[in-house]
A and B are shown apart, each in its own frame.
Chain A
């Protein structure tokens, strides 16, 4: 019994603080500090109202301003992996192999096998949760 108490106490303490998850590379803190969200977007995705709505929603949630970079999907995803972007918006195949190298947020729109969605850097779990919530609100 005592052993269980010892195991569960720190867990309870952590649950109480509500500070989890945090980002491994600190994207959320960086957005809060610099007040800038570095967004990469492809030309076609930029024309979708859902993509614009997501950026606006994130700006509102964080109080930061989006700095948008236009580009092709793969260079944007590579920049995302390197930590030069905070999210990349594009139309991706529903089964894109990039889903392992970066983290896909819920789809904002569908067109056949294509999904309009934000991709996030792996391990940025607080930031991912925020973008996921915003995407779900818009997707539904």
Chain B
């Protein structure tokens, strides 16, 4: 026991955390291979270049998670007396910003193409003596780019729920954005092949709205966490039901006191301002929600009312 942030996790969650670390390493490997394949197939297509930049941004959530995971193993020090539990929250903010940027880039690029009525040229390449329409290679690259995020995103979601890890959840949303953009890109290239210059941009614009919505929600929740807002839901910027229930329970147990809740990474911390209790209450007995999630209630402190 080093008092590192990671020690707050019970064994089941600890195991889920280690699984998430491995999954994020795998993800970095896959994203790197996608960036190479898309880079080779993008040719002169602006839409493919945008898709490629988005694939680069897909590095942000797994890298942020792995940096956080490394720091969370460190014990508190004189320079960081509270340890590194909030690195996860910072990573959440950075990932949310990356997700929002992906949606924004996609929408701007689609808007630009539609406004300029840009007729994209996708010519041919000679492969092994045969002339192949570059569009088919782009479709193949987009298909390749869509499959790993589809699988990894599905694997990340249950871990994010088990750990109540919003950074992992944002990573899953980024994966969703990636595979949806991949499918839209495939549709767009085939549409272009049919002679519909607007197909690619229209598909991208529709999908960008969904990504921007996810990105804005994540950004709101991440900002709330960084400015000591009340705990938010895992998948939304609304107040968390569990935290609301805990608030009510603390109000009931300490009448006349003022209760403040905030969230640091995966953990909830409560401050009760008012008369000090005669004896320290048992934290686990105060948690009103699922007992398997009681570990999240990491700190209960009492502050005397200012006179």
Contact = CB atoms under 8 A, between A and B. Distances in A.
Interface of A: 7, 11, 14-15, 20-26, 103, 105, 120-125, 128-129, 132-133, 136
Nearest to B130: A133
B123 A103 contact: yes
Given A20-B193, A22-B195, A125 B123 contact: yes
Interface string B175-197: 00000000100100010111111
- Listed from nearest, the 6 A-B pairs whose CB atoms lie closest are A123-B119, A20-B193, A103-B121, A22-B195, A21-B193, A129-B124
A91 B51 CA distance: 34
Interface string B112-127: 0000001111111010
Interface stretch (B2-10, B131-139, B289-297): B131-139
A21 B186 contact: no
B121 A128 contact: yes
A128 B120 CA distance: 11
Interface residues of B, number: 22
A124 B124 CA distance: 12
Contacts of A132: 123-124, 131
Contacts of A26: 195
Interface of B: 118-124, 126, 131, 133, 135-136, 139, 183, 186, 190, 192-197
A81 to B, nearest CB: 10
A123 B120 contact: yes
Given A103-B121, A129-B131, A132-B124, A123 B139 contact: no
A124 B119 CA distance: 8
A21 B135 contact: yes
A57 to B, nearest CB: 14
12 contacts: A20-B133, A20-B135, A20-B190, A24-B192, A24-B195, A24-B197, A26-B195, A122-B118, A122-B119, A122-B121, A123-B121, A132-B131
Contacts of B126: 136
B134 to A, nearest CB: 9
A125 B118 CA distance: 13
B124 A25 contact: no
B119 A25 contact: yes
Nearest to A125: B122
B186 A125 contact: no
A15 B190 CA distance: 10
Contacts of A122: 118-121
B154 to A, nearest CB: 12
B193 A128 contact: no
Contacts of A124: 119, 121
B157 to A, nearest CB: 17
Contact of B194 (A22, A105, A136): A22
Contacts of A129: 123-124, 131, 133
A21 B183 contact: no
B68 to A, nearest CB: 33
